[in-house]
């Protein structure tokens, strides 16, 4: 790439927090390239190049190759030549965290091998909503709902298991605390699912583009809308879960 150095970025967050729609918004920008699929923390951030090799491992070689490997999987926009490639000012990938172990491995990998990468950190504060989204996805097999009709799909409200919710809450909150460490070691652009993403307003993405160093613009390429049934159509004991969440957070 000639001219200005390209900026690498990683979109991170807990699962069911809006990382997918955020990453789709970012990678659709004409000057941004990104891998569409979600990247597994292991082996990418744990083994890197050595996912594909056998024999002696060199830490120096691993460090030298990580950037090239990152670019190889994220520079995915169709390009016809040097002029098109030079127009890409930022390239990145998405990681969604489900466990404390994953969070710790991601933080270690980013701090060790990608100290210069920019972080777009999506946070969904409503643990009950995240849990409902996870249970609904597991029940229906639909992990992403991109049409308004999905909100009207028949769903029979079930009683959520408070013990399972507590395990989910404590695991994901601990994982979030691990991810928060990156705010001290990297440039981080925080996004709130409730404040920035839920209403579909493009302003948050325009600010994110500024963070990545590309021209702010509304993400008109997002031609679909992520929707899901209301939480009380998924769980019959929402109030009980809300009370539990408040007691643990208090």
Which token pair is 163? 């013990």
CA atoms within 13 A on the CB side of 127: 26
Q: Which residue has the tokens 């493009």?
A: 202
CB 160 within 8 A of CB 231: no
pLDDT of residue 185: 98
Residue 54 neighbours by CB distance under 10 Å: 6
pLDDT of residue 54: 85
CB 119 within 8 A of CB 12: yes
More confident residue, 64 or 132: 132
CA distance 68 to 79: 18
Quick one: CA torsion of 213, 31, 93, 218, rounded to 10 degrees? 80
pLDDT of residue 176: 96
- Mean pLDDT is highest, among 14-23, 63-72, 178-187, for 178-187
The pLDDT of residue 96 is above 80: yes
Q: What residues contact 159, with CB distance under 8 A and at least 6 apart?
A: 235, 236, 237
pLDDT of residue 50: 87
Which token pair is 158? 């079930």
Least confident of 11-15, 194-198, 219-223: 219-223
CA distance 93 to 105: 16
* pLDDT tens profile 114-147: 999 999 999 999 999 999 999 988 887 776 655 4
Average pLDDT over residues 146-166: 74
More confident residue, 56 or 130: 130
The pLDDT of residue 1 is above 50: no
DSSP codes, 8-32: EEEEEEETTSSHHHHHHHHHTSTTE
pLDDT of residue 23: 94
Nearest to 214 by CA among 3, 22, 4, 32: 32
Q: With pLDDT > 90 as the criterion, what percentage of the chain qualifies?
A: 65
Least confident of 32-36, 91-95, 223-227: 223-227
The pLDDT of residue 20 is above 60: yes
pLDDT of residue 145: 59
- To the nearest whole number, what is the mean pLDDT of the chain? 88
Confidence of residue 155 (pLDDT cuts 50, 70, 90): low
* pLDDT tens profile 172-190: 999 999 999 999 999 999 9
The pLDDT of residue 86 is above 80: no
- Any idea what the Cα angle at residue 111 is, between residues 110 and 112, rounded to 5°? 95
pTM (2 decimals)? 0.89
CA distance 110 to 67: 11
């Amino acid at each position: 790439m000639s001219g200005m150095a390209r900026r690498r970025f990683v979109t991170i967050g807990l699962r069911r927090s809006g990382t997918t729609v955020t990453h789709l918004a970012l990678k659709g920008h004409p000057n941004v390239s990104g891998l569409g699929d979600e990247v597994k923390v292991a082996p990418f951030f744990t083994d890197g190049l050595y996912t594909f090799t056998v024999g002696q491992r060199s830490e120096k070689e691993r460090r030298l190759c990580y950037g090239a490997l990152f670019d190889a999987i994220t520079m995915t926009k169709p390009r016809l030549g040097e002029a098109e490639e030079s127009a890409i000012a930022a390239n990145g990938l998405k990681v969604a965290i489900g466990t404390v172990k994953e969070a710790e491995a991601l933080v270690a990998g980013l701090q060790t091998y990608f100290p210069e990468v920019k972080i777009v950190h999506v946070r969904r504060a409503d643990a009950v909503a995240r849990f409902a989204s996870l249970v609904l996805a597991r029940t229906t097999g639909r992990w992403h709902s991109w049409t308004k009709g999905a909100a009207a799909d028949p769903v029979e409200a079930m009683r959520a298991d408070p013990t399972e919710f507590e395990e989910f809450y404590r695991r994901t909150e601990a994982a979030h605390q691990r991810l928060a460490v990156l705010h001290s070691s990297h440039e981080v652009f925080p996004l709130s699912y409730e404040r920035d993403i839920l209403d579909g307003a493009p302003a948050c993405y325009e600010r994110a583009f500024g963070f990545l160093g590309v021209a702010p613009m509304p993400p008109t390429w997002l031609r679909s809308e992520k929707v899901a049934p209301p939480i009380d159509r998924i769980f019959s004991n929402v109030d009980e879960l809300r009370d539990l969440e408040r007691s643990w957070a208090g």
